[in-house]
Structure 1
């Protein structure tokens, strides 16, 4: 897989922003079939930074219920928390 297919989009939330400032970690939605090694190589190639570690969280799809009846589904996804090496930085929206 090409790195443009592995990294879907960065996760922008309050928790992700705090992790970026405190622990130097960036969160991404990634392709469900991507593993840690592929995610590491994709981030290093896309942003030109050194990656120290990758943690992956996978959420399965669930049925959405209302009054005991299934009314739809909530899609599943895979997130990767990428820890950058000391002194490395990815600027996603700074200066906008």
Structure 2
């Protein structure tokens, strides 16, 4: 279906970590979505291919959000946390990703 081929090596670097938070849990229950931290230069097509490759599920859609790093103060100087990028992956009905079960 997709004419663009991505190398497996690149796809392994796209997903950085799942986001486990109160908001991510609510989104997962309500909308059947899973939230991942992704590489800053990752595209929606790469995220979709990476999730399908790693978790053996079918992805319906992907939404991406850029989050600005918070400004923090250390003494007199101001600093900033790193910017992050998140992907909200909507799975097809009947599909799920369980992070608590052992990897086989």
TM-score range, shorter-chain basis?
Answer: 0.7 to 0.9
SS at match of 1:40: helix
Per-residue deviation, residues 50-95 of structure 1 (Å, max 9, x unmatched): 000000001234543479x642221101000000000001001258
More strand by share: 1
Pick one of 6, 16, 21 that aligns with 1:8: 16
- Matched with 1:36 is 44
Runs of 5+ unmatched residues, structure 1: none
Task: Please provide the CA RMSD for this pair.
Answer: 2.0
- Paired residues, what number? 94
Task: Write the distance in 2 (CA, Å) between the matches of 1:62 and 1:13.
Answer: 17
Per-residue deviation, residues 29-61 of structure 1 (Å, max 9, x unmatched): 000000000000000000000000000001234
Runs of 5+ unmatched residues, structure 2: 1-8
When normalised by structure 1's length, the TM-score is: 0.86
- Matched with 1:75 is 82
